[in-house]
Amino acid sequence: MFKQTKRTVTFLLAALIFVMHLALPATGAAQTGRIAFLPFKANAPQDMSYLTSGIRDMLASRIASEVGLTVIDKAVVDKALAGAGTPTQTEAFLKLAKTLQADYLVVGSLTSMGSSLSLDAKVFEVAKGAPRNFYATAKNESEIIQSIDSLAWDISEKIFAQKRPASALTQSQVAGQPTAQAQPQYATAHPDRAFAGRTGAGGSPFIYAKGITSEFQKTQNMKLSLQFMEMADLDGDGQDEVIFADNDSVQIFKRDGNRLSKVGQIPGKVGYRIHAITVADLNKNGKPEIYVSAADSKGPHSFAFEWLGADKANYIFQDAKWYIRAMPILGEGMVLAGQQADASKAVAPGIFRLDVANAALKAGSRMDVPASVNLFEFTIADLDNDGSREIIAIDQYDRLQVLRPGGTVLWKSDEFYGGTTRFIGGTEGFGAGKGSAQEGSNRIYIPSRIIVYDVNGDGQPDIIINKNLSTSSRLFENMKNYPSGEIHALSWNGIALSELWRTKKIDGYIVDYLLRPAADKKSAELLVGLVLGSGASDLFADQTSTMLIYQLDFTKKQEQ
């Protein structure tokens, strides 16, 4: 079937390229100039060169027909590209364009996740410098030609002012209406039905093929080594900004549907790698602060700030010798929690409430959590509504646990959950010399968040957590690489956390995720931050990140 699809799509692409040379009418004044198309990169678990080659040719032919530019021969472009290495920055792409004597340069990628495909393209105008971003999606390979056509018209309209003909408009564009929102892809069910329907390990009836689909929306791809993500209304305009942390900076984006526009960037201190960010208005001034936990090889050096717009920040404190996390505590609300390092290992015993005084952190009372649990590994909830707190934690072996505050284990998973490449410690300064056999043995891995939310409306909190999939990453202590993953919703049935639903497999390393409930709490968005490809184990590699957007319906019940 796959080979047949490859032949069909390849044939259709070739045929359309030929037909467009003959049949497409000009819709505006012809432009003069030269344009170069670089090979499209494939972010996919399988070979998709048959598609990327066709996309490059079809997009070039389409734009040439619509606009009238001279397309520089592929062989000439590929030879110049081979001499330029692998450009990643704007300056390098512009230099390549000048080498080719091109007025415009197009670079792009094709991303496959499940059956869905997305096309991302950047168009560099040599005279202006900064590129413009374009994006299109297809539910499957049979729709890829329409997506290329849409992408070509977007570029022609926004770069070359070529008006799109009525025949190329979608029904919603003709009617002047915005595109309809995607329908929810998740239905949840009551946990007592889940428990009653279990037929053994992995037998939950809520892994349903029809209720859970691989459909989603996706933002554009970004050159970003994503480490953590958050959302908050940072500027008071009533719309939440998307906040991404990479290794050494906090980047802020405005969101318009599935499009992200970067509006600010606050650098961290040179030499200190960011491993977590959280957001809260702890000083109660109506403006959320961003709390950044960062460390070098010797210990934590964290900071917090209020974003003032663009690349400006009002720092609450800097260079704090604490790992930090803003988190909710039952009966207290949001608090700033912290943990320190000691001379021999990455974390010292004890998690403390922190206060800010004179732009510095001061330790308050110690939190009532088991000594075995580190700052980023747990959350607190009353899972059975009996008035007592449970600690939901994930350990360094990727086992999910439910504990009493004193450390009594109520339940521990047989399956692996979590999975991460972020870590603190394990390098020179934590009891091991660089290059020694012990280097890395003291690493503490920083898992993604554990979300507590009632996803099925039964008045009892549930758990949302990721499960990054990789056998080798759990066999080898310090070789972490996660080519795919899932998001799971779990409910406490009195003796264990049982599964409500899961996403289908997501191709890529799931870095972080957020749940954004609607005002009526009957639906929500699940936002998933993802690093594409399989190179996530290299913290300093040039990585490609994106965000997936799933719609959840908390009211719909799935029939057995």
d(CA 83, CA 281): 51
pLDDT at 440: 47
Residues 6 or more apart whose CB falls under 8 angstroms from that of 419 comprise 398, 447, 466, 467, 468, 469, 470, 473, 474, 480, 482, 485, 510
Could you write out the DSSP letters of every residue in 264-299? EEEE--TT-EEEEEEEE-TT-SSS-EEEEEEE-SS-
H helix or E strand, kind and range, residue 60: helix 49-67
d(CA 151, CA 174): 17
Integer CA distances (angstroms), 493 to 128, 195, 455, 463, in order? 60, 7, 14, 12
Q: Is 121 buried (19+), middle (13-18) or exposed (0-12) by CB count in 10 A?
A: buried
d(CA 242, CA 44): 25
d(CA 145, CA 157): 18
Yes or no: say if 66 and 27 are a contact pair by the CB < 8 Å rule.
yes
- Token pair of 429, please? 């300064």
Looking at residue 504, the DSSP 8-state letter turns out to be: P
Q: What is the pLDDT along the chain (560 residues), one digit of tens a residue?
A: 444 444 444 444 444 444 444 333 344 445 678 999 999 888 776 677 778 888 888 898 888 888 888 999 999 999 999 888 778 788 889 999 999 999 999 998 888 776 678 888 999 999 888 788 888 888 777 788 888 888 999 899 989 888 877 655 543 344 343 333 343 444 443 323 332 333 233 332 223 333 344 468 899 999 999 999 999 999 999 999 999 999 999 999 999 988 999 999 999 999 999 999 999 999 999 999 999 999 988 899 999 999 999 999 999 999 999 999 999 998 899 999 999 998 778 999 999 999 999 999 999 999 999 999 999 999 999 999 988 999 999 999 999 999 999 999 999 999 999 999 999 987 543 433 344 333 445 789 999 999 999 988 888 999 999 999 886 666 666 678 898 899 999 999 999 999 988 888 888 999 999 999 999 888 899 999 999 874 444 444 568 999 999 888 877 654 44
Positive or negative torsion for Cα 366, 369, 373, 375: negative
d(CA 6, CA 51): 8
d(CA 186, CA 198): 20
Using left for φ > 0, alpha for ψ between -120 and 50, and beta otherwise, residue 146 falls in alpha
Yes or no: say if 192 and 485 are a contact pair by the CB < 8 Å rule.
no
Integer CA distances (angstroms), 469 to 122, 337, 451, 485, 499, in order? 32, 30, 19, 5, 17
- Token pair of 343, please? 């001379």
Yes or no: say if 193 and 501 are a contact pair by the CB < 8 Å rule.
no
pLDDT at 181: 38
Q: From the CA atom positions of the chain, what is the Rg in Å?
A: 25
d(CA 296, CA 114): 37
Give the three-class secondary structure for 491: strand
